[in-house]
Structure 1
Amino acid sequence: MEIKKAALAGTLESSDVQVMISPNESGLTIDLVSDVKKQFGKAIVARVKQVLSDYDIRHATVKIVDKGALDSVIKARTITAVQRALDIVEEPKWEVL
């Protein structure tokens, strides 16, 4: 699927994550900012990539600002940002959940 507009989900509060997605014609770019990047960076990026793959998104720029979020929060925020970016908030892809 193709990203229609830039979208954001999440906050910068402790134990949350902010996920920003915007269109990118030259592939997939993921930028992670996290205090725990050294320990959990690969797992965070893998979760985001998995959600993007579930939506068949191959071209996007994703910026993740993690403040110690759990895996389920990362997944939920990414799904929300993707649905907003694809403009399918009213018709979610239930099989991804």
Structure 2
Amino acid sequence: MEIKKPAMAGSMESSDCMVTVRPGESGIKIDLQSDVEMMFGASILETTRQSLAELGVERAQISIVDRGALDCVIRARVQCAALRAAERSYDWSREGACLG
């Protein structure tokens, strides 16, 4: 999936995260700022990379400002921001969400 424009999803509230996806030159580059980075930074990065891979995103710049979001929240925010950035719509009411 090609990222065409910058897009965001999420909020700066506690237990949420703000994900920004921008077009990238090559590969996936992730900038992570997290209140819990020392403990969960590797997990957040892995969840982000898995979510992008499942969508077929190969080139993007990702910025995540995390306020203690669970993996399922991070996954949902990454999926939403990536789909917006690729100018693709999705029926979020469908069972199984984006990957299903």
Q: What TM-score do the two structures reach when normalised by structure 1? A: 0.91
Query: Distance in 1 between the 2:98 and 2:36 partners?
Result: 30
After TM superposition, give the deviation of residue 60 of structure 1 in Å. Answer: 0.4
**Which secondary structure does the structure 2 equivalent of 1:84 belong to?**
helix
Q: What amino acid sits opposite 1:15 in the alignment?
A: S
After TM superposition, give the deviation of residue 71 of structure 1 in Å. Answer: 0.9
RMSD: 1.5
For the 8 Å contact 2:19–2:65, the answer to whether it is kept is: yes
**Once structures 1 and 2 are overlaid, which stretch shifts more, 82-91 or 30-39?**
82-91
Gaps of 5+ in 2: none
Percent identity, aligned pairs only, is 45
**Which secondary structure does the structure 1 equivalent of 2:15 belong to?**
coil
Match of residue 7 from structure 1: 7
Match of residue 68 from structure 1: 68
Query: Distance in 2 between the 1:11 and 1:70 partners?
Result: 13
Q: Does 1:96 align with 2:99?
A: yes
- Any residues of structure 2 matched to 1:75-86 within 5 Å, and which? 75-86=75-86
After TM superposition, give the deviation of residue 70 of structure 1 in Å. Answer: 0.8
Query: Distance in 2 between the 1:19 and 1:42 partners?
Result: 16
Instruction: Please list every run of at least 4 consecutive aligned residues from structure 1 whose deviation after the TM superposition is greater than 3 angstroms.
Output: none
For the 8 Å contact 1:21–1:62, the answer to whether it is kept is: yes
For the 8 Å contact 2:18–2:66, the answer to whether it is kept is: yes
Gaps of 5+ in 1: none
Match of residue 17 from structure 2: 17
